Structure 1
Amino acid sequence: MTGQRDRWAELTGGEAGEEYAQRFARLAESGHDIHGEAAFCAALLKPAARILDAGCGTGRIAIRLAELGHSCTGVDVDASMLAVARRDAPTQEWVLGDLARLDTLGLSQDFDLALAAGNVIPLLAPGTESVVVRQLAAALRPGGLLVTGMGLDAAHLPLTEPPVTLTEFDHWCSQAGLTLRQRYATWSGDPYSPGCGYAVSVHSRPAA
């Protein structure tokens, strides 16, 4: 562990919850589909699946997945984001905690799917990325899925340059016992090709 703050906290000061929620509210009001990640995940799942939304933020995705009939647990280290999630969906499970210490939060380890959307992986604290991947892999049941979305260039990140490459990420997944199953360029399922600025990846844990 590095002891450093995560890149998200460095960018926002840990007080971006309301602003983040309002941004997506404006997008929805203007007619944009803000549920692409949830629809993507739902297409991979059987009914009433158990989902871990890692870096859940204001709960936008987890709340939608719950509306679709799944059981969702959201974890985030940003208290301002979780405050919005708890206000909007008080009956859902929201946990304040560091993804690098996921195993200390008292969660079960039999999730059907773990989701890290919204550039969660690139915005982790430097040096903790491989630890978080191992933690997420360990939280999955045999045959479970890790779904991630991340920017690969400055145009798709709130950073001047990408801190994580796909090669590094796939290596961490391999070390954690995960296998790449699918990769796309968008949450809509557009084909991925080298040089794309964004990647949506589906890795799987081996079945028992």
Structure 2
Amino acid sequence: MEKETLWQQQARQDPKQAKNYIDRFAQLRESGADLDGEARFVDALLPRDARVLDAGCGTGRVGGALAARGHRVTGVDLDEELLAAAQRDFPGSRWLPGNLASLDLRDASGTRETFDVVVSPGNVLAFVAPGTAGAVLSSLAAHLAPRGRLVVGFSLLKDYAFGTFEADVAAAGLRIASSFSTWDMRPLRPDSDFVVALMESTQTVN
């Protein structure tokens, strides 16, 4: 039986969690807030019509913005209410239920699907089941196309320390190619409270 994620634990305690999340970002969008920083970062890594996996897609905010920029997007999330919002707002993409720690997407022939970029923004790694972040990174790494890249962003104020993250990255067969403190690529410093990490497989590094 798969471990319950922190998001699921919080949802049991607060049944309105997903609705409040949806409403909060809708209000931010209506207020004119810039919500596309993650999508701009990822889009800069890709040619047109690239394959993108939005891991922990929530309402499809990032994946939807990438689809609008000409990419083929698949989103995965555990929360059915958030997935329904993604399907409603961005019907041109594929939104699937799934646990990232055991993710294994297969095509009709049974071959594992791979992507040019896998992106997991929005503190996803901080909300997975305790002790499973390494498994999440490994399953996402397994869905990278040759020379594909994995991008994650999460708060360093949560319970997932950067040193633990570095060890999990190495165990997943990945290396950190670049790291920043913001999605607009400000330098990562010892006192930074957020990290954006761009990774690639150690199997494809020249």
TM-score, normalised via structure 2 length: 0.90
Counterpart of 1:157 in structure 2 is: none
What is the aligned length?
Answer: 198
Q: Deviations over 1:40-97 (max 9, x none)?
A: 1101111111010000000011011000000110000111110101111223111101
Question: C-alpha distance in 2, partners of 1:68/1:59?
Answer: 14
Give the letter for the 1:106 counterpart: R
Question: C-alpha distance in 2, partners of 1:17/1:186?
Answer: 25
Question: C-alpha distance in 2, partners of 1:9/1:177?
Answer: 28
Question: C-alpha distance in 2, partners of 1:20/1:8?
Answer: 11
Alignment of 1:53-68 (within 5 A): 53-68=54-69
Matched, 1:128 2:132: yes
Task: Report the 3-state secondary structure (helix = DSSP H, G, I; strand = E; otherwise coil) of the residue aligned with 2:116.
Answer: strand
Gaps of 5+ in 2: none
Task: Report the 3-state secondary structure (helix = DSSP H, G, I; strand = E; otherwise coil) of the residue aligned with 1:121.
Answer: helix
Question: C-alpha distance in 2, partners of 1:81/1:17?
Answer: 6
Give the letter for the 1:59 counterpart: G
Question: C-alpha distance in 2, partners of 1:17/1:110?
Answer: 29
Question: C-alpha distance in 1, partners of 2:151/2:24?
Answer: 24
Matched, 1:113 2:117: yes
What RMSD, in angstroms, separates the aligned Cα atoms of the two structures? 1.6
Task: Report the 3-state secondary structure (helix = DSSP H, G, I; strand = E; otherwise coil) of the residue aligned with 2:73.
Answer: strand
Question: C-alpha distance in 1, partners of 2:124/2:16?
Answer: 17
Question: C-alpha distance in 2, partners of 1:15/1:63?
Answer: 23
Whether the 8 Å CA contact 2:53–2:118 is kept in 1: the answer is yes
Give the letter for the 1:111 counterpart: F
Whether the 8 Å CA contact 1:152–1:197 is kept in 2: the answer is yes
Give the deviation of 1:109 after TM superposition.
3.1
Question: C-alpha distance in 1, partners of 2:131/2:189?
Answer: 27
Matched, 1:207 2:200: no
Counterpart of 2:177 in structure 1 is: 181
Task: Report the 3-state secondary structure (helix = DSSP H, G, I; strand = E; otherwise coil) of the residue aligned with 2:149.
Answer: strand
Task: Report the 3-state secondary structure (helix = DSSP H, G, I; strand = E; otherwise coil) of the residue aligned with 2:127.
Answer: coil
Counterpart of 2:49 in structure 1 is: 48
Matched, 1:145 2:144: no
Task: Report the 3-state secondary structure (helix = DSSP H, G, I; strand = E; otherwise coil) of the residue aligned with 1:122.
Answer: helix
TM-score, normalised via structure 1 length: 0.89
Give the letter for the 1:54 counterpart: A
State percent identity of aligned pairs. Answer: 40
Question: C-alpha distance in 1, partners of 2:56/2:142?
Answer: 16
Structure 1 residues 112 and 127 mapped into 2: Cα distance closer, same or farther (>3 Å)?
Answer: same
Counterpart of 1:25 in structure 2 is: 26
Q: Deviations over 1:141-178 (max 9, x none)?
A: 1211110000011xxxxxxxx22111111111111111
Give the letter for the 1:121 counterpart: L
Whether the 8 Å CA contact 1:17–1:58 is kept in 2: the answer is no
